[in-house]
Structure 1
Amino acid sequence: MDVFERLKEAASADWSSYVDHDFVRQMGEGTLPAAAFRTYLVQDYLFLIQFARAYALAVYKGRSLADMRAAQRGLSAILDVEMDLHVRLCGRWGLTPAAIEAAPEHQATVAYTRFVLDCGMAGDLLDLHVALAPCVIGYAEIGRRLAPAGEAAWGDHPYREWIGEYAGAAYQEIAAQARAHLDGLAARSMTEQRFAELAGLFGKAARLEADFWQMGLDAAS
């Protein structure tokens, strides 16, 4: 069992509240209201701006070129892949990148992103990557769950493009690399006593992910 699986097991209730959230289920079923998805997309774009800063912080905190390159891959995935997806999808509602960036951050967005940045500023590289893991690795798990047979099996599903992005081979590889890097960091600096602290960070990040989904549902209610 790798460190990511151990963290999921230690924070199983928090993890389930995130990956089994009604937002995720409704998206998979194709019944998620468009207003909920639109609110989520705009806020997730703002979220990704702050997460890009977190990966830039990880570059700074890296003690080796391997650590710095791992963080750079995460930064590139956000700036060159995920944000482009959001721009394409938001463009269907006539939203330009400038309009998205001008949107106010919701409380759930502020709470989650500043928590991750605080973990990085106050802690070390392992603390930061544990706080990032529910997002970068969790989205890959959600993508696999929603599209076990791949994007092509979804036909004209309304959320096919989002699901396909995270279920696709390119993002799955990004998540696999992040997972392996987390294991490497833990091998260097994690004790069993520290694991309990890291599980607390991981559980908090998962709860904040669940709150982020809920924000989208609340906007459509």
Structure 2
Amino acid sequence: MFHKEGYKIMAFAAIILIAINVLSYSLINTYWIKFSVLLVSIFLFLLIIQFFRNPKRRTQHNDAHIVAPVDGKVVAIEEVYEKEYFKDKRLQVSIFMSPLNVHVTRHPVSGTVIYSKYHPGKFLVAWHPKSSEENERTTVVVKNKLAGEVLYRQIAGALAKRIVNYAEEGSEVIQGSDSGFIKFGSRVDVLLPADTPLTVKLNQKMKGGLSVIAKIEED
């Protein structure tokens, strides 16, 4: 199954690649060149459609769990000063998506969206220290009855040229449901209270909507 954000791009790519092959078969007489053009076209199309795959995930809803919002690898676990919304120190878990990962963003907790803002910006590589502050990004905060306010930030990278964010302030969302899409990958940061007990470590592979990154201790 494919994400709706990819339909137009996939259709456009298919039209262009078909046109290229029609031209190659009418203008090129050498069979192996025509066959090579076909193989390259198939490879490129498969590469494009894999960016937009959208596998169904069955999230085990649990207010005491904060799940990974995206597929990818944990590239940073650090205490940072969050100056956009909380304006205090937070524990940041950063998940990097390679071009081969699923690029759907999912809600890490259930609750009410109390903050959602888009920031235009640069397209530095996702692991650049300033990418979380200078790149194109969206910041979303969901208030959960047990976990409190959980912030997650979609950050565009060198290849990603458009972030899609479905989270609207005042809306009720469900853990693991579709929150948005970063076209052609990048990074998502999750910011939690500094004393949050994490269940992940550096370089660990994540599955969006399934992998638990933190467990909140119930009183």
Tell me if TM exceeds 0.5.
no
Higher helix content, 1 or 2: 1
TM-score (norm 1): 0.26
Structure number with greater Rg is 2
TM-score, length-scaled by structure 2: 0.26
Question: 1 or 2, which has the higher strand percentage?
Answer: 2
